[in-house]
Amino acid sequence: METISSKVTSKGQVVIPKRLREKYRIRSATAIRWIEKDQGILMVPESEDPIVAARGMLKGSGILKAYLKEKRHEKQRENKRVARNK
């Protein structure tokens, strides 16, 4: 495990190293929980809203196209079924 250090400013602020911000998806306005432990302080980024976090997750997967295609086929089958029952 690599050790990374930061300094505390006169205002009590700490810069989180870029590599860690990217790895843990820490962005501007991310809430941080500070937990006191016997060994020291644990800093835990709060989870994002799961709905917001999932946005764009399936982008480019083709799942929307496949879903819409299946819905069109379903509608066509239903229309044929209705036409036969008339």
How confident is the model over 39-53, as pLDDT tens digits? 999 998 887 677 766
Give me the pLDDT at residue 81, please.
87
d(CA 78, CA 86): 13
The pLDDT score that the predictor gives to residue 70 is: 93
- What pLDDT shows up at residue 47? 75
Q: Which amino acid belongs to residue 25?
A: R
Contact by Cβ (8 Å): 46, 32: yes
* Domain ranges across the chain: 1-55, 58-86
Q: Could you confirm whether domain 1-55 is CATH 2.60.40.770?
A: no
Residue whose C-alpha is closest to residue 16's, from 32, 40, 1, 2: 32
- What secondary structure does DSSP assign to the chain, as a single string? -------B-TTS-BPPPHHHHHHTT--TT--EEEEE-SSSEEEEEPPPPHHHHHTTTTTTSSHHHHHHHHHHHHHHHHHHHHHHT-
